[in-house]
Amino acid sequence: MLNLERLRTLDALARHGSVSGAAEGLHVTTSAVSQQMAKLEREVGQQLLAKNGRGVRLTDAGRLLAEHATRILSQVELAQSDLEAHRGQVVGELRLSAFPTAARGLFPTALADLRAEHPALRVRSSELEPAAGIAGVVRGDLDLAVVLDWYNKPMPLPEGLVKAALLDDPADVAMPSRHRLAGRDEVDLGEFAEDEWITWGEGEFCHEWLMFTLRSRGVEPIVGHRAAETHTQMGLVAAGLGVCIAPLLGRHPMPAGVVTVPLVQRVRRHVYVVWRADADRRPSIRAAVRALQDAARKVG
């Protein structure tokens, strides 16, 4: 009998195109991926991988089995969804993630409401950046992920995922209260050409968005400090160490000595929740989406 975890590994290899990519997507070591594939090859009695330069490629048999693996894993998810839908109750375990400001701004209200309305539902939550959350949903480690993209830089969404809008989150510029532009009604990004920016980690989606947006306005960014958390960024702003983009969600309370000023070019990030299409019928998924949307309506 085919082992589901080994089929999941093969599916990840087919989607990511490399052992390292599959390992990263599955949050395991490359050695673990290789071991699972070696066991799967013994299980089916055929070679599934072949060397391709420094990497590997799927053989014809590997591609054939990968196509079946995708359908098998989808059917397993559908079976679980149908059983839960048949029972008609919001029960079991639900695993979800959100990027840090959404975890702070939405999860306390949404998860408390879920617990009050559906005490038989066990919710497990974690903070993950959008790309990691989407990857977790794709591979089945998560049931839902709260993610974002920006008005001028969409987040690619893999095939097989469904999304629902939560809110459009306006973002201003946060600066020290003694900054030369602090008294303005609105500002232009081009006016910050000489300022140091406090931004997110290298390679993170929001950091890449900020670099792209500043450069599109003719500003070559001066990055002074990096911090994943909005409140850490705000603390650095309060100390006079630079300016940062300050979305409304998760912004408050702001430290003393920081002011926010809207941009002439209105900046918004789109916040939404994603889940697998084959889990769409699960009552727990629908209940969680409703709770998140209710929490989002209270943001302001």
Only one residue has tokens 């090859």, namely 41
pLDDT of residue 192: 93
**Domain segments of the chain as ranges:** 4-85, 91-300
- Among 2-16, 101-115, 211-225, the minimum mean pLDDT is found in 2-16
Question: How far apart, in whole angstroms, are the C-alpha atoms of residue 103 and residue 98?
Answer: 5
Which among 259, 241, 267, 269 has a CA at the least distance from the CA of 174?
259
CATH class assigned to 91-300? alpha beta
Whole-model pTM above 0.85? Answer: no
Collapsing DSSP to helix, strand or coil, 242 comes out as coil
Kindly report the CATH number that applies to the domain delimited by 4-85. Answer: 1.10.10.10
Query: 48: left (phi > 0), else alpha (psi -120 to 50), else beta?
Result: alpha
pLDDT (tens digit per residue) in 137-147: 987 889 999 99
pLDDT (tens digit per residue) in 120-169: 899 999 999 998 899 889 878 899 999 999 988 888 888 889 999 999 99
Does residue 56 register a pLDDT over 60?
yes
**What is the CB neighbour count within 10 angstroms for residue 147?**
28
Only one residue has tokens 């300022």, namely 195
Q: 244: Cβ–Cβ under 8 A, 6 or more apart, which residues?
A: 173, 174, 197, 198, 199, 233, 234, 236, 237
Question: How far apart, in whole angstroms, are the C-alpha atoms of residue 165 and residue 96?
Answer: 16
CA distances from 77 to 120, 212, 228, 273, 288 (A): 21, 38, 33, 19, 18
